[in-house]
Amino acid sequence: MNRLYFNFLIVFAALAVAGCSRKQTPRQQPESVDTIPMLVMQVQKCSRLYTAEYKMHKIITHDDEIRMKGKFLNQDYDVALPMGSRKIAIPIDATVKAYIDLSSFSEKNVRRVGDKIDVTLPDPRIEMTSSRINHGEIRKYVALTRQNFSDKEMAGYEQQGRQAIINDIPQTGIMEMAKESAARVMVPFFVGMGFNEKDITISFRKDFSDNEIKKMIVTASDAERK
């Protein structure tokens, strides 16, 4: 029987890319970019904009036992043997990051009317960049009559832990956090390009359901295969 207990620590970081900021001298007035192609080119230079990071911790537990079942004097019995149980608790740590891939930004993402600019940013992406078992904190009990947990079993439990973390990611709010952080980074960027803050609107294509978010998540191994 597998039972999953969830326990997580959230760490939020708005990570501005150095290429997405322009320094102005105190008396320098930035000039507004005249053409959409020039604006698009400047945004694309930002490349990958990381906007949120979560540290997640999950404990995978597994216990099994040898049971004796049968019938005696017309009575069914099901008894756990006292020396036939195994139990284990495996802590797994993972890092999940959200980012905006601005290299895909194009003129389709921009609508400009006079001094006003409406920017639709690309969909946030979510990647589990690392996951590992904390071997120093594994707790287990193996009865004398049972074999120890094998490497294959341990690998299976680790996979269960990664999948459980992926299933829980939508409930962390990382998608909304990624959107809000991206907007906070990009508004000053467009101000630095000559637009007034009140004339800038940052939006996204849509809101995603929990199931859609799960399908968007990639792991480090997935990214390496691409």
Over residues 91-131, the pLDDT tens digits come to 999 999 999 999 889 999 999 888 899 999 999 999 999 88
How many residues belong to the chain?
226
Cα–Cα distance measured from residue 134 to residue 83, given in angstroms and rounded to the nearest whole number: 28
Q: What are phi and psi of 34, to 5 degrees?
A: -80, -30
Q: What are phi and psi of 146, to 5 degrees?
A: -115, 155
- In this structure, the dihedral spanned by the alpha carbons of residues 131, 135, 140 and 142, taken in order and rounded to 10 degrees, is 110
Please determine, for residue 23, whether its predicted confidence score (pLDDT) is greater than 70: no
Q: Which of 1-10, 135-144, 194-203 is the least confident region?
A: 1-10
Least Cα distance to 140 among 75, 190, 90 occurs for: 90
Half-sphere exposure of 126 (CA within 13 A, CB side): 27
Cα–Cα distance measured from residue 56 to residue 98, given in angstroms and rounded to the nearest whole number: 14
| Predicted pLDDT of residue 13 | 38
| Predicted pLDDT of residue 64 | 75
Q: Which of 15-19, 28-32, 219-223 is the least confident region?
A: 15-19
206: left (phi over 0), alpha (psi -120 to 50) or beta: beta
Could you tell me the pLDDT band of residue 8, with boundaries at 50, 70 and 90? very low
What is the average per-residue pLDDT within 135-153? 86
pTM of the model: 0.71
| Predicted pLDDT of residue 95 | 93
Q: Which of 19-23, 43-47, 95-99 is the least confident region?
A: 19-23
Domain boundaries, the chain: 2-225
Please report which residue ranges of the chain form alpha helices under DSSP H: 36-44, 151-168, 174-192, 210-216, 220-225
Q: Which of 5-19, 50-64, 179-193 is the least confident region?
A: 5-19
DSSP structure string for 15-56: ---GGG-----TTPPPPPP--HHHHHHHHHTT-EEEEEEEEE
Spacing of C-alpha 180 from chain mean position = 15
Please determine, for residue 11, whether its predicted confidence score (pLDDT) is greater than 90: no
